[in-house]
Structure 1
Amino acid sequence: MKGLIYREFYLSRKTVVYMLLAYIIFVLMITMIIISTYAGNLAKDSENADTRDYLLSQMYLYAGLIGMAGCTYGHNDLIEKDYKSRWQLYSYTLPVHEKKIMQSKLILRTILLALGFVLAVIAEVIFSAAGKVPVSTEHIKNILVILFVYGSMCIIDIPYMIIMKTQNRGVAFAMIPLVILTAAVGYGTYKFTKFCYAEAARLYPDMKGDAGMMKVAMPYLTKWRDIFLWAGPFILIGIVIITYFWGIKELKRRRY
C-alpha cells in the first residue's frame, strides 16, 4: 500500500509543484496590493478603502480554489498518463487487489484535498494580516463549502476518469449535463437576484446600487450555507464510499 501511495504522489508531484507556485505568486501579489492600499501608491487613491474591502472579501475564495485545484490536478492527470503509458494494463498482472489500487488513489487525493484546504486557510490568514483585520470565521465557513463541493467532484472524478481514459473525452461527455446544470443555476440566480432587487426597492428605498440587494440576499445566502455545512460532510463521505466501490468495479473491468 505504501508503495502504491508513494507512486501516485511521485508521478503527480511536478504538476502539483507548478500549481503551488501559481498559488504562491497569486497570494504574494494580492498581499502586496492590499498593503499598498494604505502604505503604498494606492494609498493616494480616494477609493483605496473600497479596493481593500473588495480584495479582502473576494480574493481568499480564488486563493482557495487555486490551492485545492492545484493540489489535485496533477493526480487527476496521472490517471490519463497511466492509461496512455499502459501502466494500468501492466498493473493487472501484479499480485495486488484492485481494492489496494483504489485505496491508494483515494488516500492520496484526500491528502491533497486536505492540503488545498490548509492552503486556503493560510491565504485567508495572510490576507487578513495584510489588511489588519481579524481572520473571518465566515470566510472559513465559505472555504469549507468549497472543500465539500469541489472535494465531492474531485473524488467522484476518479472512477469517471478510469472509464473515460483521457481528460478530453471526459470533458466532452460531461459537457451536456454541465451545460444543463449551469443553465439551471444561472436561471435560479437570475430569479433570486431579481427577487432581492424588488425586496430592496421596497424595504430599503434609500440604498443605492447593489447595497440594498446584498442586504436582502445575505440572510438567505448565510442560511443556505449553514445548512450545507451540516449536510456537506455527509455528502462527501457518501461520495467517497460510492467512489470506492465504483472504482473497484471499473478497475475489474480491465478497460483497455
Structure 2
Amino acid sequence: MRIGVVTFPGSLDDGDAARAVRLAGAEAVRLWHADPDLHGVDAVVLPGGFSYGDYLRCGAIARFSAAMESIIDAAKGGLPVLGICNGFQILCEAHLLPGALTRNQHLHFRNRDQWLKVESTSTAWTGTFTDGQEILIPVKNGEGCYVADQRTLDELEATGRVVARYIRGNPNGSQRDIAAITNERGNVVGIMPHPEHAVEALTGPSLDGLGLFASVLAHLAGKTTAVPA
C-alpha cells in the first residue's frame, strides 16, 4: 500500500507521519503542497505543524493548495484521508469535516501525553481498535479546541461520527471532549492529538498511535468492515 504524506510550508510532523506509515508496513509517498498529482496513493495523511505559518487562521491557506484541491475531490470519491492536528484544521477549513478548531480555552499551548477513548471503530482509520478502547497518545496544540453549533454536535453524536474523546482531562476545552471526528462516509478522519508520536517504545508513551495506520492498511486490504457509501 502507498500512503501519501503532504508537506506544506511550515509542516512540522510530516517526517514523523511518514515514519509511522513505514512502521505500519506501507510505503510512504511524499506529496508536495504545490503539486496536484497524488501519484496514485491509496490514502493520504495531512500532518501536524503550522502550514503557511498559520496566517489568517490555522489551515486557511493550506486548504487552497494544489494538493488539497486534488485531495478534496479524491476524498469525496472515498479516498481515506487522515488529518492530524494542523491537518484536522485543514480538513475543517476545506469543509470535509464540520466545525472548527479554535484557540485553547485556557489560552496556553498544551504538550502532554493524553488519554483518549475510542468511540467509533467503523472508520477507515480505526477499524483495528475496539469500541471503548482507551489509548495514550501525545497532544501538542495551541488551537485545538473543537467547536461547532449545537445542531452539528448533536448530529455528530447521533450518527456515531465522534471518533475519539478526551478522558482523564480535556487539554484544550473542546466541546463535549471531542478529540477526533469523521465524515458521513467514514473515510475522512480528523484528530487533534498526534498518533504518529506513539508508534515506537523509544520515543512515545505507547504504541497506540500505530493502530490508526494499521487500521487504514487493513481497511484497504478489505480486512475490516467496509466503510458504507
| Fold similarity call, TM over 0.5 | no
The one of the two structures with greater contact order (alpha-carbon pairs below 8 A, sep at least 6) is 1
Q: Radius of gyration: which is bigger? A: 1
- Whose strand proportion is higher, 1 or 2? 2
